[in-house]
Amino acid sequence: MPTARPSLNPGPAPRHSRIVGVGGYRPRRVVPNSEIIGPIDSSDQWIQERSGIKSRRFASEDETIIAMSSSAAKGALAMAGITADQLGCVIVSTVTFMYNTPAAAPILANELGATKAAAFDISAACAGYCHGIALASDMVKSGTSDYVLVVGVERLSDFTDPCDRGTAFIFGDGAGAAIVGPSEVAGIGPTVWGSEGARWDAIVQREPWNEVVAAGRQKPAIVMQGQAVFRWAVWSMAPVAQQAIDAAGITINDLDAFIPHQANMRIIDSMIKTLKLPEGIPVARDIAETANTSAASIPLATERMLREGQAPHGGLALQIGFGAGLVYAAQVIVLP
Ligand code: UT7
């Protein structure tokens, strides 16, 4: 480097980060398995046995990506005890916003009154929330932002083929949100994340938009190689969860909650076994009434566990997201 060039301001001294509030929005309409089974020649019993799902919520017209996100964000802001104008950044994780551009985040920021916030979307499917927490944590730690809103939101019912046996019963709609802010002590452990793009077609929009238009169809559906994804989740994700525990410098016995992506109750049970999670540590099982809401599933489950007293405020929770890409991310967090 030329010596005459002035050195750049390195920014504020690094500090710690933590989640200071969470919120959730569940659409009004409850859809039991009995409403799904007709077109896929299935049964309530099969769906419950294979996935643990009893019902899901489907968004109505007015429960848009922005409206659901806004409601979840307001809950998170209230718990954090801050106002929207204190947000330095808004990150929305979604794969079901109907606009390719602009992103949902600036519209949400405007709706909330977060007039000073940077705002952008990320696309990391069911791992999107954990990706968002990783970004937000680094932003707060480095001083890029004081408070960051992370929203995971999906209207998967818009992208589900009701006649596809592999997916019609599995997806639901909703929004979950978290505020990440500065902390005296470390409140978000290191993120363990990665991708396996060679398996991009394991969970995929059936055809790209240009082919949908060329074929005169209205919109594409998300399809999944169910068994392959199931095996990947069961075999590959428990080691990632263990790495997140190790990276946090704790042991599994220190956890106060396990909040995995709500993909399938059998995947959750199998991860518990592989991780040897001690009995008595509460596990998120929101999937039974909420189904798989992709990016929204972990914050929705977190909000519920705290609200219902299943997990303690200030306790340590392991969260792990995994899905289309294939992509994954996990970290240990201190619950708000
Ligand atoms: O969120 C992103 C990550 N996603 C996931 O992690 C999802 C991972 N995959 C899964 O959760 C499971 O693969 C499913 C729940 C989607 C499916 O369960 P499965 O145990 O893998 O079912 P399968 O596809 O192996 O099918 C088992 C049997 C078959 O019958 P035979 O050949 O054994 O006679 C299917 O024909 O069940 C039959 N079947 C159904 N029966 C009733 C398949 N789909 C249905 C259905 N209703 N919807």
- Over residues 205-216, mean pLDDT: 91
* Contact in structure between 92 and 194 (CB atoms under 8 Å): no
**What is the DSSP track for 183-195?**
ESS--BPPPEEEE
User: Is 163 noted as a catalytic residue in this protein?
Assistant: no
DSSP 3-state of 35: helix
125 and 241, same domain (yes or no): no
pLDDT computed for residue 1 by the predictor: 62
Tokens describing residue 333: 């967090």
> How far does the centroid of ligand 1 lie from the alpha carbon of residue 303, in Å?
29
CA of 225 to the centre of ligand 1 (A): 9
DSSP 244-294: HHHHHT--GGG-SEEEE--S-HHHHHHHHHHHTPPTTS-B--THHHH-B-G
In ligand 1, the atom with minimum distance to the C-alpha of 266 is 11
Q: How confident is the model at residue 2, as a pLDDT?
A: 65
Please report whether residue 303 resides in a domain.
yes
How many domains, in total, are found in the chain?
2
The values of phi and psi at residue 237, to 5°, are -85, -30
Residue after which a domain boundary falls, among 162, 183, 204: 183
As a whole number of angstroms, the distance between CA 267 and CA 182 comes to 34
Residues 239 and 277 in one domain: yes
Domain identity same for 168 and 200: no
* Model confidence, pTM: 0.96
Q: Is 126 a catalytic residue?
A: yes
Could you tell me if 239 and 313 lie in one domain? yes
Q: In terms of domains, do 170 and 245 share one?
A: no
State yes or no: is 292 an active-site residue: yes
Q: State the Cα–Cα distance between residues 84 and 132, nearest whole angstrom.
A: 18
From the list 126, 130, 131, 264, the catalytic residue is 126
Do 151 and 205 have their domain in common?
no
Cα distance between residue 333 and residue 311, in whole Å = 13
Q: What is the mean pLDDT of residues 312-318?
A: 98
Give yes or no: residues 50 and 150 share one domain.
yes
Ligand 1 atom nearest 167 alpha carbon: 16
Question: CB neighbours of 315 closer than 8 A, spacing ≥ 6?
Answer: 256, 257, 334, 335
Do 173 and 203 belong to one domain? Answer: no
**Could you report the per-residue pLDDT of 9-63, keeping only the tens digit for each?**
888 888 999 999 999 999 999 999 999 999 999 999 999 999 999 999 999 999 9
pLDDT digits 0-9 by tens, 104-135: 999 999 999 999 899 999 999 999 999 999 99
pLDDT given at position 12: 84
Residue 266: CATH number of its domain: 3.40.47.10
Q: Give the pLDDT confidence score for residue 218 in this predicted structure.
A: 84
Query: Same domain for 119 and 34?
Result: yes
**Ligand 1, pocket-test mutation among 40, 50, 96, most atoms within 8 A of CB:** 50
Give me the residue label for tokens 């902390």: 183
Distance 47 CA to ligand 1 centre (A): 9
Q: Which of 72, 74, 54, 55 is nearest to 63 (CA)?
A: 72
Average of per-residue pLDDT values in the chain: 96
Is it true that the peptide bond before 326 is cis, omega within 30 degrees of 0? Answer: yes
Per-residue pLDDT at 80? 98
Q: Which residues constitute the domain of residue 58?
A: 16-183
Structure tokens at 39: 């077109």
Share of the chain above pLDDT 70, in %: 99
Q: Say if ligand 1 is within 6 A of residue 152 CB.
A: no
The pLDDT value recorded for residue 19 is: 98
The answer, yes or no, to whether residue 294 has pLDDT greater than 80, is: yes
- Of 136, 153, 183, the position where a domain reaches its end is 183
